[in-house]
Chains A and B, each alone.
Chain A
């Protein structure tokens, strides 16, 4: 537990001193969202209809952009092998890295959601559903992305590879989350989706760090 808290503190401190790594994906997110009206046309009805999909795809891409850095600096400066060497659980360390990744990339995206939704003319029910769905899903995105980040950490240009590895794993949450927003806009019940997303999140919390920790061990084995 000590390691978990200390590691999250350490990551927050490092990123607080170098905020650009955190800010760039957020700026990317807003830019991508504002490109769609320019490409499709400013007609509110049309934008509103495809808004959940646009926002979700943009959020996935923004998350993936920040994913590559999850373990990279720790790998390059040797912190990662010190963790593996110590008798501390790599599982807990990995979970802490995922938690700080979520605090630094998932949570800010959730906070930006209402802005994105306004740009695309979503109504109030839609905005709430969108924000809630991202709140439920973004930890899962960080957990699954961590696997890809750890697998590619030893490679010189892992960024694009992470996207290829992780994107298929994101399909279920993407499908459920956009469906949830559409259901909310249509005025129907969303509680079922919430349960499903929570179930997936729970499964990911239990299983993903096992794979990530194993991948970290492989990365330091050289």
Chain B
């Protein structure tokens, strides 16, 4: 297992292996995304309270889930980089940060769009929206630090430290914001605590969540491959690879 892990840490081997996965992965995710979206938008029955606006859930909820686990994945890669000094892990951190920020932005945006018909206003300081906003700021911090340190050799380690500090804080932030919300507002419009979702509603949701993950991984791998080509552009294997294109 560990040997495999180390082998994968070599940019060249990662590049070769991921070259085989990336296309099927991307296709699978695109098929699942279109299929899931069509299912959710056309065939799922409208909610008896929210009507058709409930369909935004299929875009919003997977994004919100992925936003959080994206940060956890980023700090996982950061930890790998700090502990084993595997350069590839740093590349992974660098490539996932803008992706995570975008997906968090999508979660915020769709949350706001969903909020308009349900709450009558674009923005509500709802516990989940607020902690997603803070999560967005955490991502922005990592991206801002990286771009400010562009010319420093220590940029990778600095960003990894920041990502780890963020992931330690994430549960504290989530907890405090949730608690702050219950303190300030009675839970009059709870969207997320639905009684029980019928199977014809959660099954497409599950498909969408999986599709989001696959798509996210596919894009992440593509970005990492790009970055590898850039940093290794002077090595023989990249030159060979380019010659065969």
Contact = CB atoms under 8 A, between A and B. Distances in A.
Contacts of B180: 175, 179
A7 B138 CA distance: 32
Contact of A215 (B138, B140, B148, B158): B158
Interface in A139-167: 147, 151-152, 154-155, 158, 161, 164-165, 167
Contact of B152 (A154, A161, A165, A179): A154
A219 B172 CA distance: 28
A200 interface: yes
B177 A215 contact: no
Contacts of A176: 176
Contacts of A152: 145, 148
Contacts of A218: 154, 157-158, 161
Contacts of B183: 179
B108 to A, nearest CB: 14
A12 B176 CA distance: 35
B165 interface: yes
B206 interface: no
A172 interface: yes
B94 to A, nearest CB: 15
A221 B161 CA distance: 15
B131 to A, nearest CB: 9
A151 B176 contact: no
Contacts of A179: 180, 183
B85 to A, nearest CB: 13
Given A151-B162, A168-B134, A222 B145 contact: no
Contact of A155 (B149, B168, B176): B149
A200 B19 CA distance: 46
A153 to B, nearest CB: 10
Contact of A219 (B154, B165, B169, B176): B154
B176 A168 contact: no
B187 interface: no
B173 interface: yes
B46 to A, nearest CB: 37
A214 interface: yes
B75 to A, nearest CB: 12
B21 interface: no
B143 to A, nearest CB: 10
B179 interface: yes
Contacts of A215: 158, 161
Contacts of B173: 168-169, 171-172
Contact of A172 (B154, B164, B172): B172
Nearest to B140: A164
A208 B169 CA distance: 11
Nearest to B170: A168
A161 B165 contact: no
A211 interface: yes
B171 to A, nearest CB: 10
A208 B168 CA distance: 10
Given A147-B161, A154-B152, 6 more contacts: A165-B144, A171-B176, A179-B183, A211-B165, A218-B154, A221-B153
Interface of B: 82, 134, 137-138, 140-141, 144-145, 148-149, 152-154, 157-158, 161-162, 164-166, 168-169, 172-173, 175-177, 179-180, 183
Which 10 A-B pairs have CB atoms at the shortest separation, nearest pair first?
A172-B176, A218-B154, A168-B137, A175-B180, A165-B141, A218-B157, A175-B176, A172-B172, A168-B134, A211-B165
29 contacts: A147-B162, A151-B145, A151-B158, A154-B149, A154-B152, A158-B148, A161-B148, A164-B137, A164-B140, A165-B144, A165-B162, A168-B138, A168-B141, A168-B173, A169-B165, A169-B166, A171-B173, A171-B176, A171-B177, A172-B172, A175-B179, A176-B176, A179-B183, A207-B168, A214-B161, A218-B154, A218-B157, A218-B161, A222-B154
